Structure 1
């Protein structure tokens, strides 16, 4: 059951990343919120490298795939993200902010490893940044005034991709922290699904859907 749920999570998140890449290039924007993207990219680089060094597992394979996919999503952020910001944010300032965000994100991941060790660091950091991502997706929907650069596919796949490891590490792993964070993610993810569904229905009435 644990391997099955790991594969379900891996495939669901792979769908999230593939759809984010497609939407990023189609809508000329980035499809994953900046702070969550930076933390995810750092997490995947750090833990994929550890997987390669210590022996590839099913989770390790997905970490590598996600890291490679995130390279393209980071590119869409660097290529199109400046247009999402106020006019006073110059290109140089935007790049400086992006670099700082990346450095901070890698530092956070390494501090988790130092504090908790590799296994617990991977879990705790993943669920905390997942909760952040859930909230930021809702904020992105509000800030953009709709579903541009977002889709119901991403919303549903993220929810499934988070729910499966919540069961693995929270329920089977007997971790109240992971179980609680995963449950909170589900609350926000379902709310985001509702927003995307409503936005899609409204677009169907007023014109072509952007998702």
Structure 2
């Protein structure tokens, strides 16, 4: 199995996760991605689609990377629209304007963090930041599940496709690193394992709560997610 095949499968699994998140969010009338995780995803995909596309000597790979990043960016914008629509109901202890101000602040802090992390390591492919934010995302999904105590906005399919997508992406970078610098990384192998462990815990929790329906009233977030 070549690197392009592994990364393509990873992309397909993450695309499936995005689609399932959007459909579930629409059904349950709640947002489906934790706020910090959504902010990180928006930043990474905007930056590496419209600002600084990762370099590839092969123009086919470059074009494929652009298409994948662009599709993910579009999905993230749909998830953003759902978050702005359903989010204020879930933070009913905040006025609507307060929720929007809070989300803007989260985006203003998270966005530069992702970009500057890549700049700090001179990581033109954004690999380190992508796996750091994946670990944070995994933890936040677990926190969101704990806050809601139901399958509201979430599903076992989302958990499995998210875990498979990240696992395949990690395998692709491990076996076929896009640059020699990743061969000697001590951070990335730790992140691969840590994400797998946290995703496994989240999936187990999702399995246990898979039949607990979303409440009829809007879900109120008791834990910042």
TM-score for the superposition, normalised by structure 1: 0.88
Match of residue 82, structure 2, among 39, 58, 76: 76
Deviating beyond 6 angstroms after TM superposition, the runs of 4 or more aligned structure 1 residues are 52-55
Provide the rounded CA distance (Å) in 1 between the counterparts of 2:194 and 2:123.
24
Question: Following TM superposition, by how much is the alpha carbon of 1:99 offset from its aligned partner in structure 2, in angstroms?
Answer: 1.1
Tell whether 2:186 aligns with 1:180. no
The structure with the greater share of residues assigned to helix is 1
Provide the rounded CA distance (Å) in 2 between the counterparts of 1:65 and 1:23.
19
Which structure has the higher relative contact order (CA within 8 Å, separation 6+)? 2
Matches within 5 A, 1:77-116: 77-87=83-93, 89-116=94-121
Question: Following TM superposition, by how much is the alpha carbon of 1:118 offset from its aligned partner in structure 2, in angstroms?
Answer: 4.2
| Structure 2 gap ranges (5+) | 178-182, 215-225
Aligned to 2:199: 189
Question: Following TM superposition, by how much is the alpha carbon of 1:185 offset from its aligned partner in structure 2, in angstroms?
Answer: 0.5
Provide the rounded CA distance (Å) in 1 between the counterparts of 2:65 and 2:197.
25
Aligned to 1:160: 164
Aligned to 1:5: 6
Matches within 5 A, 1:1-211: 1-49=2-50, 50-51=52-53, 56-87=62-93, 89-120=94-125, 122-173=126-177, 174=183, 175-200=185-210, 202-203=211-212
On the 8 A contact 1:152/1:193 being kept in 2, the answer is: yes
Aligned residues: 202
Provide the rounded CA distance (Å) in 2 between the counterparts of 1:21 and 1:159.
17
TM-score for the superposition, normalised by structure 2: 0.83
